[in-house]
Amino acid sequence: MNEINLISCEENIKRHKLKIALVFPNSYYAGMSNLGFHRIYELLCSRREFFIERVFFENNQLLLNNLKDFSKLKDFHLILFSLSFTDDIRNIKKILNLLDLHPLRKFPFLIAGGMGAGIDSEAVAKEVDYIFRGEAEEEFDNIIDLFLDFKDNKISSDKLNKNLLLIEGIADREHFSTSRINLIKKLKAPAHTVILTDQTEFRNTFLIEVTRSCRYKCKFCFIGNNGSFRFYPKERILNEILNIRKITKKVGLVGSDVLSHPDILDIYRILIREGFRVSFSSFRADRITEEFIKLYSENGNKSLTIAPETGSEKLKKIINKNISNENILKIAGWAAEYGLKKLKLYLLIGLPEENDDDIKDTMGLVLDIKKLFLKYAGKLKYMPVINLSINQFVPQPGTLFESFNMPDRSIIKGRIKMLKALVREGNIKFSFNIK
Position 118 contacts ligand SF4 (CB under 6 A): no
Nearer to ligand SF4, 195 or 218 (CB): 218
- Applying CB under 6 A, the site for ligand SF4 has a residue count of 11
Taking the complex as a whole, the smallest distance from the CB of residue 215 to ligand SF4 amounts, in Å, to: 7
Rounded to a whole number of angstroms, the minimum distance from the CB of residue 222 to ligand SF4 is 8
Residue among 56, 130, 206, 216 that touches ligand SF4 (CB under 6 A): 216
Shortest reach from residue 243's CB to ligand SF4, in Å? 29
SS3 199: coil
Whole-angstrom distance, CA of residue 232 vs CA of residue 257: 12
Answer yes or no whether residue 224 interacts with ligand SF4 by CB under 6 A. yes
- Answer yes or no: are the C-beta atoms of 242 and 278 closer than 8 Å: no
What is the residue type of 148?
L
> Contacting ligand SF4 (CB under 6 A), which of 55, 128, 196, 223?
223
Return the closest-CA partner of residue 138 out of 169, 161, 176, 172.
Answer: 169
Least spacing, CB of residue 225 vs ligand SF4, in Å: 7
Smallest CA-to-CA distance from 270 within 303, 245, 304 is with: 245
Q: Quick one: CA dihedral 184, 186, 187, 189, positive or negative?
A: negative
Q: Which of 91, 198, 238, 78 is nearest to 145 (CA)?
A: 78
In terms of CB distance, is 89 or 348 closer to ligand SF4? 348
Among 79, 218, 259, 400, binds ligand SF4 (CB under 6 A): 218
What HEC string does 329-367 produce? HHHHHHHHHCCCCEEEEEEEECCCCCCHHHHHHHHHHHH
Say if CB 87 and CB 54 are below 8 A apart.
no
221 touches ligand SF4 (CB under 6 A):
yes
Name the DSSP class of 179.
P
Q: Which of 284, 316, 370, 415 binds ligand SF4 (CB under 6 A)?
A: 284
Work out which of 209, 240, 257, 358 binds ligand SF4, going by CB under 6 A.
Answer: 257
Whichever of 24 and 216 has its CB closer to ligand SF4, that residue is 216
**Three-class secondary structure of residue 138 per DSSP:** helix
Among positions 195-214, residues that touch ligand SF4 (CB under 6 A) are 214
The verdict on 251 binding ligand SF4 (CB under 6 A) reads: no
Coil, strand or helix at 279: strand
Closest alpha carbon to 134 in 175, 168, 85, 92: 168
Work out how close the CB of 228 gets to ligand SF4 at its nearest, in angstroms, rounded to a whole number: 12
Residue 295 engages ligand SF4 in binding (rule: CB under 6 A): no
Q: Which spans of this chain sit near ligand SF4 (rule: CB under 6 A)? A: 214, 216-218, 221, 223-224, 256-257, 284, 321
